Amino acid sequence: MTAQALKRERFDDGVLLVTLDLPGEKLNTLSRALQVEFEVLLAELEGDPDLRAAVLQSGKPDNFIAGADIKEFLRVKSALEAETLSRSGQQLLDRLAAVRVPIVAAIHGACLGGGLELALACAYRIASSDPKTSLGVPEVMLGLVPGAGGTQRLPRLVGLRTGLDLILTGRALRATRALQVGLVDEVVPKAALARAARQAALALADGRLQARPERLSLFERALKPVILAKARAQARAKTGGHYPAALRAIDVVGQGLGCSLFEGQKLEAAAFGELAVSGVSRALVALFFATQEIKKDVGVPEGTEAGEVRKLGVLGAGLMGAGIAAAAAEAGCSVRLRDTSAAALGRGLRSVREVFEERLKRGSLSARELGQRLDRISPTSEVTGFKRAELVIEAVFEDLELKRQALAELEAATGDECVFASNSSSIPIGEIARGCRRPARVLGMHFFSPVHKMPLLEIVVTPETDAWATATAAAFGRRLGKHVIVVRDGPGFYTTRVLAPYLNEAARLLEEGARIEDVDQALLEFGFPVGPLTLLDEVGIDVGAKVAKVMHAHFGERIQAPESMALVLADGRQGRKNQKGFYRYAKGKKGKPDESLYALLPTGAARLPFEAREIQERLVFALLNEAAHCLQAGVLRSPRDGDVGAVFGLGFPPFLGGPFRYLDHLGARFAVEVLERLAARHGERFRPAGLLVEQARTGVAFHA
């Protein structure tokens, strides 16, 4: 670090204003080089008797400190080295907490991870009320525990239950909620932050204001064993034992509260060291970097400027259309929502309201903000009000002719520069665009349901889609808070294409006599968030059948649904939407497996035992093999995009890093051997992709 990151301004009242502004960086992060600067600053505070207090603020527009420099974790080669790194950070913050003069943290923007740990070591914390201000410790999302004292200072400040919740979920709090739980001492408007921080600093120096005492009540101390036991049970149920950081965090917090801060931090550092070099953490860190890289890389020529989307048109007010409209309104965009009837529009607007009301109940949205978002959506049953839209997204039923008709209508109703996007999940975009007037402005924007929760957006480009349209769609997707991958057009694109053989194999196992719950449980144990048959119920068995036809028409036997699925659909089973699928439903809630379905299958009611490992092997390797086919065919631009797409769109276990990182872990040679064994037993659909065979021959990894 050549230029200085910590800038100082001294006032006549004895307050030193310290502004952290890393030169040449968009965000402030904590690194070893910055630690040296902090040590110099603390020496100044200790050695200057005329200084009475200090205020620490950020020089970045909407970022206090985003956390530690994660790149430094990758350079760590041993648990001892990582533990030493943690101890070094703890010692610096211990020194900050014990410094002669009070330090006030003036927080605006993201205050996360090591940034929050630094703020916790300050005597007082004031946060701006701006929505961009958020506070949290997301280390568990990287397979780690907070390593600079966070597992010890946080529960002592906000209480055991709240502290554990923040550490184990990794969620960030807005300033008002942080004030309620005691994480910050004051919340003020952004414009008043600097003045309020200086006033608090002087009040602390004069003794007119006291730092917040520990919030760990006698009640929580008495119930500590019960609280910890409940947290462990919940963590095991949620993680399935795949994420060791959660259980280690509970142990470190629990043990630390029974000893001194110093001893507790030693326990924290040891846990941090072990976890930092674990396979799980390495995979999660790699996944994190992948999500950062795709923000800068959407496959368009350098210098391509994205168009700004101020007004969005959405065609179709069903579940997906309403979800897209809600996400756009949340992002501050004006939305014109069209459907063919007032009844359909009413249902769509009700779905939108439910999304916002859920946030209102959680306290992350005010009633005023809810009203503002709803006011941004204008419903219509006519093709009017789209002329000024910069982007129109079609979210009608998965039917080629219907989508072509929608494109024709919207081309006539929009300007020449409007980008048209189809939310198709399987129909090639080129087929939808065939014969249209402006093919360069047509692409796919494949959202995932529910839109407000699923973090992936898959943008599908044809050979005729121009770079400007791609950049515009990608920028809008990032504005909605999505991880955006750009893939080449083709049946099923990437995500639907790799999901199809996975779901087909689940259905084949039922045909062969497996129980519904055994198939789902096996994949839950592997690390997927839901079982494949539960997923098919959620997506809709009828939707799956339509997708299956498209996939079979293009890929033949390799992606062919078993014949019995047609019988399941003919029996009126559509899944959750009509309360009849692989599972029983009562008032919308999923119940037990519907064993009457077995009568529709060749094996009838008789069920056979299948080992979980066999079920996992067949489904997972079907998905892995198709991912390799997608990369080989150029549907994917890189293994990185394939990993991000599968994890954030399909629920592929994050702790494995994605299909291609998992293949690297297994080794291509081993993967080919498994696939050839499966092909010999179950058929050509398991024949390994040529790219996998080549990787096995050369020994080259996907992530070299």
Structure tokens at 450: 């529910």
User: Which backbone phi and psi does 392 adopt, to 5 degrees?
Assistant: -125, 130
Structure tokens at 39: 């040590």
The radius of gyration of the chain's CA atoms, rounded to the nearest angstrom, is: 27
Which of left, alpha, beta for 493 (phi over 0: left; psi -120 to 50: alpha)? Answer: left
CA atoms of 620 and 171, how far apart (whole Å): 30
DSSP symbols for 458-515: EEEE-TT--HHHHHHHHHHHHHTT-EEEEEE-STTTTHHHHHHHHHHHHHHHHHTT--
CA atoms of 295 and 449, how far apart (whole Å): 22
Q: Tell me which amino acid residue 426 is.
A: S
3-state secondary structure of 357: helix
How many C-beta atoms lie closer than 10 Å to residue 363's C-beta?
Answer: 12
Structure tokens at 519: 């198939």
Q: Tell me which amino acid residue 414 is.
A: T
Closest CA to 311 of 299, 325, 293: 325
Closest CA to 621 of 563, 568, 666, 576: 666
Question: DSSP assignment, residue 562?
Answer: -
3-state secondary structure of 534: helix
Give the residue numbers marked as catalytic. 458
Contact criterion met (CB below 8 Å) for 398 and 547: yes
CA atoms of 407 and 420, how far apart (whole Å): 7
Burial of 9 (0-12, 13-18, 19+ CB in 10 A): exposed
Structure tokens at 617: 């092997």
Q: Which residue's entry shows tokens 């991870």?
A: 113
Closest CA to 57 of 248, 197, 158, 214: 197
Torsion angle defined by CA atoms of residues 576, 582, 583 and 585, in that order, rounded to the nearest 10 degrees: 30
Indicate the length of the chain as a whole number.
Answer: 704
Helix H or strand E encompassing 331: none
Contact criterion met (CB below 8 Å) for 315 and 393: yes
3-state secondary structure of 378: strand
